Amino acid sequence: MSIEFRLLGIPVRIHLWFWLMALWLWTLDSAEGWAGLLIWVAVVLQGILMHELGHALAGRAFGRTPRIELVALGGITWWEQREPMSPLRNLLVSAAGPAVGIFVGSLSLVLMDVLQIPDPSLGRYLFRSLVWVNLGWGLLNLLPIMPLDGGNIVAALFDFAVPSRGRLLASYVSFAVIGMLFVVTVATRMYPATILLLLLGFSTYQVFRAERQRSTILPRGLVEQAFMALERGDGAGLVEAASQLVAKGGSTEDLDEAFHLLAWGRLLGGEPREAEAALRSMSGDRIADPALEGAVLVELGRPNDAIPLLEQACERGGTFAEGYYVKAVRDLGAFSQAAQFLSRPGAPRLSAKAVHTLQQLALAAKAFEAAQKLASLPALQPATDQENA
């Protein structure tokens, strides 16, 4: 039994257990009678829903399609897309929920004093509930325990240093924090908090077990999956497979290959900074594909650094390298340099389309001498066009 509706275009489902949880929490105080019950349930609904909306709207800003469910232990925001987000985006999405609650709770606390609402009164109870639910829930969620937001933030921070192993490492942190808090709650006889910690401990164990199983998957199938995704240009699929390869670990050579594939996936997924981070994670024993490295630099707005790498890549051939070489030359306005490079003896012959594009860009930039040199390149001759066809 559940209630379903859409809020800001986001599907929301409220399960029966959510209402029962709100009712049980009210019985711990039972203030203000039935009117207090209605106020409390409405505030709990507002607080948990706005918390999840923080996650959902942040995820939607990064291209995700969110869904929200309110359940016994709070709320869950999940995505229709299965591919993982970058560590930075994970961190921002995880922090967005508590940020909303802390803002609303802090604002309610200020307004309660500014408006000088008499105590006791239903108005005072309303504002106290807004502070308690929003501020309290936001701060509670920042505890470094999986699967709370604080645990996910810790996982994202670990992912910056050790890609794809963040959730596993964050699970160890969670167990340590739960253990310490368990001792405190038992010693102080805060038994409801003890029960909550036991539930969180079980959830952490589920995360830990899933991450351990994922890290023991044989990599051969993942390597094939990664290269198939690369051939299709499927950045999300490539990131998913490469991330698992990184998590699997292995020899330096294996990790270099995994990070190299991860960089390709991040680039194809429109995340050049994450692609650069993956390249930097390589040991240095394996030389990165100059087409990949050059393309990443172009996307980062560094065409001057990209051109030498893309010149190497063009010598190997391929439309991918050509396309990024043209972009780098255009962004830098290096038409004379391109004309000189392509007209030297033994220079690579780009496709007619690439050379023609460079020529037109040079003309538009009034680099007439460079445009004339580009026009004389073999790729623009009719015979060459027919040959390429």
Q: Is the pLDDT of residue 301 over 90?
A: yes
Query: pLDDT category, 103, cuts 50, 70, 90?
Result: very high
Q: Is the pLDDT of residue 28 over 50?
A: yes
Share of the chain above pLDDT 70, in %: 92
**211 and 227 fall within a common domain:** no
Lowest average pLDDT, out of 165-169, 328-332, 345-349, goes to 345-349
Query: pLDDT category, 113, cuts 50, 70, 90?
Result: confident
**164 and 128 fall within a common domain:** no
Could you tell me if residue 273 is inside a domain?
yes
What average pLDDT is seen over the chain? 86
Could you tell me if residue 94 is inside a domain?
yes
The number of domains in the chain is 4
Could you tell me if residue 148 is inside a domain?
no
Could you tell me if residue 293 is inside a domain?
no
> Which pLDDT score is estimated for 219?
58
**24 and 135 fall within a common domain:** yes
**186 and 209 fall within a common domain:** yes
Q: Is the pLDDT of residue 164 over 80?
A: no
Give the list of residues 6+ apart from residue 292 with CB closer than 8 angstroms, or none: 260, 263, 264, 267, 275, 279
Coil, strand, or helix at residue 12?
strand
> Which pLDDT score is estimated for 30?
65
Could you tell me if residue 70 is inside a domain?
yes
Could you tell me if residue 50 is inside a domain?
yes
Could you tell me if residue 294 is inside a domain?
no
Domain limits for position 366: 318-389
Share of the chain above pLDDT 90, in %: 43
Q: Is the pLDDT of residue 91 over 90?
A: yes
Tell me what the mean pLDDT of segment 250-278 comes to: 89
**204 and 222 fall within a common domain:** no
Tell me what the mean pLDDT of segment 188-207 comes to: 89
- Give yes or no for a contact between 370 and 342, defined as CB atoms under 8 angstroms apart: no
**284 and 345 fall within a common domain:** no
**178 and 90 fall within a common domain:** no
**18 and 117 fall within a common domain:** yes
Q: CA-to-CA distance for 281 and 284, rounded, in angstroms?
A: 9
Q: Is the pLDDT of residue 267 over 60?
A: yes
Q: Which pLDDT tens digit goes with each residue over 218-228?
A: 456 777 788 88
> Which pLDDT score is estimated for 32?
65
Domain end point (choices 216, 231, 251): 216
Q: How many CB atoms lie within 10 A of CB 114?
A: 8
Residue 218 tokens read as: 């044989």
**110 and 211 fall within a common domain:** no
CA distances 98 to 53, 84, 101, Å, are 10, 21, 5
Tell me what the mean pLDDT of segment 341-370 comes to: 86
**7 and 130 fall within a common domain:** yes
Q: Is the pLDDT of residue 82 over 60?
A: no
> Which pLDDT score is estimated for 268?
93
Q: Which pLDDT tens digit goes with each residue over 48-74?
A: 999 999 999 999 998 888 999 998 878
Q: Is the pLDDT of residue 266 over 90?
A: yes
Domain end point (choices 271, 288, 305): 288
Spatial strand order of the sheet with 74-79 comes to 2-7, 10-15, 66-71, 74-79
> Which pLDDT score is estimated for 384?
38
Tell me what the mean pLDDT of segment 18-29 comes to: 82
Residue 7 pairs in a beta bridge with: 10
**352 and 380 fall within a common domain:** yes
Q: Is the pLDDT of residue 229 over 90?
A: no
Coil, strand, or helix at residue 389?
coil
> Which pLDDT score is estimated for 381?
42
Lowest average pLDDT, out of 26-35, 55-64, 304-313, goes to 26-35
Could you tell me if residue 147 is inside a domain?
no
Domain end point (choices 96, 115, 142): 142
Query: pLDDT category, 325, cuts 50, 70, 90?
Result: very high
Q: Which pLDDT tens digit goes with each residue over 117-156?
A: 887 788 888 999 999 999 999 999 999 999 899 999 999 9
Q: Is the pLDDT of residue 21 over 90?
A: no
**170 and 227 fall within a common domain:** no
